[in-house]
Amino acid sequence: MRFSTLGAGSVLLSSLCATSHAYRLPQIPFSPSDDSLGTSPHPPPGDWNPLEHMSGIAPYHDAPGADITPPDGCEVTSVAFLVRHSCIYANDDEWADFMEPFVNRLEKYQQEGGSFQGAGPLAFLENWESPINEGNLEALTGPGADDAFAFGKRLRKLYPHLFPPKDLGKGSSKGKKGRTDKVKEPFRIWTANSNRDVGTAKAFIKGAFPKRHEGDDGEGDGKYLSLIKVNNKEASWSSSLTPHKVCPAFTKEPGKPDAQEWLEHFGVAPLERLKKLMPNFEWALRDVIALMMLCGYESVIKGVGKTEFCKQGLFTAEEYSDFGYWNDLIYHKMTGYAAPVAPYLGIPWVNTSLHNLLEAPEHRHHRDGRPHLGLLKEGDGLPDPDRPPNATHSQSLFVFFTHREEPPVALVALGIWNQTTVGPLPTDHRPDNRVWKTSHVLPFLGHVAIEKLTCGSHKHPKDYARILVNGAAQPLPREDLADGPGKSCRMERFTEYVRERMEMFGDFEGACKKAE
Ligand SMILES: *[C@@H]1O[C@H](CO)[C@@H](O)[C@H](O)[C@H]1NC(C)=O
Ligand SMILES: *[C@@H]1O[C@H](CO)[C@@H](O)[C@H](O)[C@H]1NC(C)=O
Ligand SMILES: *[C@@H]1O[C@H](CO)[C@@H](O)[C@H](O)[C@H]1NC(C)=O
């Protein structure tokens, strides 16, 4: 099976394959398709799946309400994607702070012949070995590469007209039939330079492009396709691709005390349960977090449905949701509305993407009405290929792979899911009416996209911008900015809005100065 962690992926791709009309795409189901929850003292209800409530430690799943069907009379004429890399073995901080201390104590307990008698759902720990170690931290997992491949296939299905044709260059050798188009420069996919990002981008390319274009191991053949690796600290691009890495004022710390306070509320009951199951083991409150993290990480290492940490039903649905909220608290002060620097970090990608959408090649149609947007031919008067990455482009689809911090700061720059308008996040209970829910944006391959929709007749087309988060359209935060079809915004208004936001949050250097 190719889609080992994308339980939903195969359903989704097969439903995609069943459609014939390229511009009326099917509703993408938000499919909680995990049948892996075994019997346990606390079985989560029905189709409830912990992996959909685990913030950033989960295989890709669409956000609720996902449906990228263009509104009636509209087609997508350009789109920019900001995508988190695919599944990794473990984030090094999460390993060091939570999982490793638990794993170390467990190994000691195993070696010393500690008892697992009566451990019930924890009995599997007697023979369990950690698949995570210092050597594979942060490395892309096998299922993670499969998911990135599936994501590439999926985008090709969803936006076929925005990719270069699959048969491009096929007939270029003499005497063979096929396309002989000469392209002036290759189609580009961009990625941050870390191995997990590059590996994700290469797997994506293999899924989205024919063998002929994919080049050596997904690097692109250099003629029709190029993978652009952007150094994490490259000045011309870093503020839009990896801004948190070039911003001294950015910090992962401020939400941690809130999360700890919250853990001290919700973690006590599950900790007591664990203690009863293995009374001789030296439990710590943080182990509640460690076991939940291992449910997520083992799912993306071994494949969904293959980890006892999820299957044994160690925690209730409520407790997993509490863990999701624990993550929301951390990210809210790190990349959300309670992080003063967040909108400054997110606005460069928004500005660059707006620029790219506006500069995307105009609508051109074949005689049969099929739009022809995926490539420009020689003679189209393209700018110099050495131009900066945010200059005018010859393509209409922009895919950027980067780190978990970037999609949420782009949301903040856009003013979407502004928790401040609802209220602060408490640390003594979980407010289910909050709008800041990181499980909906942060899974591996989680993304924010801006689509340019072109609606109306070919003679009088009107352009709109639509924001998607993991497949679900998100209205911009003012009524006059969300009155277009399908929660979209008139392109002129969106352009004005982004300029306003640039005025408010454009001072990247100023905002990123570290307080002395
Ligand atoms: C491209 O990025 C550079 C550096 O961030 C910036 O100075 C320049 O204004 C940008 N140009 C465009 C056209 O967005
Ligand atoms: C923002 O985008 C506009 C083009 O839409 C460009 O002129 C400007 O330089 C950009 N600003 C930055 C800081 O990149
Ligand atoms: C979030 O909402 C608050 C309250 O309306 C507003 O003051 C603030 O500017 C918003 N934040 C961002 C980044 O848009």
Residue nearest ligand 1's atom 7 by CA: 236
Residue nearest ligand 2's atom 8 by CA: 351
Closest ligand 3 atom, CA of 418?
Answer: 1
Q: Is residue 245 over pLDDT 50?
A: yes
CATH number of 36's domain? 3.40.50.1240
| Residues in Cβ contact with 180 at an 8 Å cutoff, skipping those fewer than 6 apart | 169, 171, 172
Task: Note whether residue 380 is domain-resident.
Answer: yes
Task: Note whether residue 448 is domain-resident.
Answer: yes
Measured CA to CA, the distance from residue 67 to residue 29 in angstroms comes to 7
358 DSSP 8-state letter: H
Q: How far is the CA of 390 from the centre of ligand 1 (A)?
A: 6
Ligand 3 is surrounded, with C-beta below 6 A, by: 337, 343, 412, 415, 418, 420-421
**pLDDT on residue 182:** 66
| Ligand 1 and 390: CB distance under 6 A | yes
Task: Note whether residue 310 is domain-resident.
Answer: yes
| Residues in Cβ contact with 211 at an 8 Å cutoff, skipping those fewer than 6 apart | none
Q: What would the two tokens of residue 396 be?
A: 């209409």
Residue in the block written with tokens 């449910």: 295
Task: Note whether residue 444 is domain-resident.
Answer: yes
Nearest to 245 by CA among 7, 512, 43: 512
484 DSSP 8-state letter: S
Q: Is residue 286 over pLDDT 90?
A: yes
**pLDDT on residue 395:** 86
Whole-model pTM above 0.85?
yes
Mean pLDDT of 361-378: 45
Q: Is residue 164 over pLDDT 70?
A: yes
Task: Note whether residue 300 is domain-resident.
Answer: yes
Domain boundaries, position 272: 1-165+181-516
Please tell me whether residue 130 adopts helix, strand or coil conformation. Answer: coil
Q: How far is the CA of 351 from the centre of ligand 2 (A)?
A: 6
Q: How far is the CA of 391 from the centre of ligand 1 (A)?
A: 7
Cα-Cα-Cα-Cα dihedral sign, residues 323, 325, 329, 330 = positive
**pLDDT on residue 17:** 26
Task: Note whether residue 171 is domain-resident.
Answer: no
Q: Is residue 307 over pLDDT 90?
A: yes
Q: How far is the CA of 505 from the centre of ligand 1 (A)?
A: 15
Task: Give the total number of structural domains in the chain.
Answer: 1
Closest ligand 1 atom, CA of 351?
Answer: 14
Query: What is the pLDDT confidence band of residue 181, given thresholds at 50, 70 and 90?
Result: low
Compute φ and ψ for 156, nearest 5 degrees: -60, -40
**pLDDT on residue 40:** 37
Query: What is the pLDDT confidence band of residue 23, given thresholds at 50, 70 and 90?
Result: very low
Ligand 2 site-directed mutation target among 502, 503, 509, most atoms within 8 Å of CB = 502
**pLDDT on residue 180:** 54
Task: Note whether residue 131 is domain-resident.
Answer: yes
Mean pLDDT of 173-188: 65
Task: Note whether residue 174 is domain-resident.
Answer: no
Residue nearest ligand 2's atom 5 by CA: 355
Q: Maximum CA pair distance of the chain?
A: 78
Q: Which residue has the higher pLDDT, 50 or 15?
A: 50
Ligand 1 site-directed mutation target among 350, 351, 390, most atoms within 8 Å of CB = 390
Query: What is the pLDDT confidence band of residue 516, given thresholds at 50, 70 and 90?
Result: low
Q: How far is the CA of 203 from the centre of ligand 1 (A)?
A: 29
Q: Is residue 347 over pLDDT 80?
A: yes
**pLDDT on residue 172:** 53
Q: What percent of the chain has pLDDT over 90?
A: 72
